[in-house]
Amino acid sequence: MKTALVTGAWGFVGRHMTHALRERGWDVATCDLANPEHPVDALDVFAHADRVFDLVVHAAALAPHRAAIDRRPANMAYNLQLDAAMFDWALRSGQRRVLYLSSSAVYPIGFQDGAEPWALHETNTDSAHGIMPDAGYGWTKLTGEKMAAAAVEDGIGLAVHVVRPFSGYGEDQGEDWPFGAFIGRARRREDPFQIWGDGSQVRDWIHISDVVAGALAVVDADVREPVNLCTGRGVSMHDLARMICRETGYDPFLEFLVHAPTGVAYRVGDPDRLHGIYRPRVTLEEGVARAVRAAVTA
């Protein structure tokens, strides 16, 4: 039986990744301080564990949502510590394969100002000038990718797969993220319906099942270069809110909180590299319908 360790297993991506691996028949160990029944700090695992896994999925990160990215810069230090400790442990303990959950936040914000719709390609981080990722979180993930490259260079037989999820969403996403917040507001039939920013911010929404399946397809195909987990389709916050409200069956007044954290204007990925190994299967319309149905029955 194949074995895996999933860090951050209590988080949105981590718990779906854990479920998917177990569905495949893997023996999965997990760690997460947020687990109320069995809190385990990933840093403790990296300091003491010597078990070798077939796959280490590193999804642990402290509060990777917009409010924290903009308002809690100190999280950067902890997330860097997590990544450094993980790669050090992977080399020291002889791990075979690591799946590193990076982020679309690594891309230069100059490509995302909305002046020109730009499909972000994996090579857009390679420029020698003008690299300015999205806030401290983007710098953290870009540094994590550099750590991954160094670990591969220093290690003997260590494979590292880097994936860059765009705006992942799903039925059980928390309200710290826009999609989860919109579903919660619709479930409560809030009127006015609040949207951070002016609603024009465009994102590439990809269902969590496709995030997980795409990431595991990267591992299965043994792709050793970064891969976007995206759809290539951009939908604004305003249009997403309207889509969710229509599916819920009400028509609230939309209130735009222009002074709230908003992030970049336009973030859409180029899915060509992903399409070589996997194509997302859940459309945004179907994902919205699933989430609304789940909210009604909750």
pLDDT tens by residue, 257-284? 999 988 999 999 999 999 999 999 999 9
* CA distances to 21, 25, 55, 101, 224 from 2, in Å: 9, 8, 8, 20, 20
pLDDT score of 67 more than 50: no
CA 96/CA 3 separation, integer angstroms:
11
Q: Which domain holds residue 208?
A: 3-297
Q: Given a cut of 90, is residue 175 above it in pLDDT?
A: yes
Task: Please report, for residues 41, 51, 90, 159, the alpha-carbon distance to residue 93 in angstroms, rounded to integers and kept in the order given.
Answer: 18, 7, 5, 14
In CATH, what number is assigned to the domain containing residue 177?
3.40.50.720
Total of domains in the chain: 1
pLDDT in the model for residue 134: 76
pLDDT (average), residues 124-131:
69
Q: Residue 123: is its pLDDT beyond 80?
A: yes
Q: How far apart are the first and last CA of the chain?
A: 35
- On whether the CB atoms of residues 203 and 235 are closer than 8 A, the answer is yes
Residue 155 has a pLDDT of 64
Sign of CA dihedral 90, 39, 81, 60: positive
Average pLDDT over residues 49-61: 96
Q: What is the mean pLDDT of residues 140-144?
A: 93
User: Looking at per-residue confidence, does 131 or 194 come out higher?
Assistant: 194
Select the highest-mean-pLDDT range: 59-68, 71-80, 124-133, 206-215: 206-215
Closest CA to 178 of 142, 202, 210, 158: 202
Cα–Cα distance list, 36 to 31, 32, 33 (Å) = 11, 9, 8
54 C-beta neighbours (distance < 10 Å), count: 15
Residue 226, helix vs strand vs coil: coil
83, 146 in Cβ contact below 8 A? Answer: no
* Predicted pLDDT at 179: 97
